[in-house]
A = this chain, B = another copy of it.
Amino acid sequence: MVKQPEPDLDEVIKALAHPVRRQMLEWLKNPQKSFPSQEHSFELGVCAGKINEKAKLSQSTISVHLATLQRAGLITPRKVGQWIFYSRNEELIGKFLARINSEL
């Protein structure tokens, strides 16, 4: 099992401080419901292209938002061939919530 780093509060909060990125995280809570058109298994997460379709923004913009979420540790990428599947990093999200609950 891969050890998760501690959340960097500043980076996580900044990543959350944009409605599009929060929206993405919300979609990823229920992949099959939010992305019914995905034909791949949901085992590894949701395909970046599907997130791109759903958010009405350019491919390059989506790529940057996903990178921001990933840098903060909020999502985990899994590369399979030409695709990248993203899923929520529940472990880090949980740690973040624990910290903000106790520190805020």
Partner pick for A97 among B16, B93, B96, B100, CB 8 A cutoff: B100
Copies in the complex: 2
- In Å, the complex CA distance between A103 and B19 comes to 13
In the assembled complex, A54 has its CB within 8 A of some CB on chain B: no
Checking B9, B17, B93, B100 against A14 with a beta-carbon cut-off of 8 angstroms, the contacting residue is B17
Majority secondary structure, A binding face: helix
Do A13 and B10 touch across chains, with their CB atoms under 8 A apart?
no
Taking CB atoms and an 8 Å cut-off, the chain A residues in 1-28 that contact chain B are 9-10, 13-14, 16-17, 19, 22, 25-26
Assembled-state Cα–Cα distance A70/B9 (Å): 22
Q: How far, in whole Å, are A2 and B104 apart by their CA atoms in the complex? A: 23
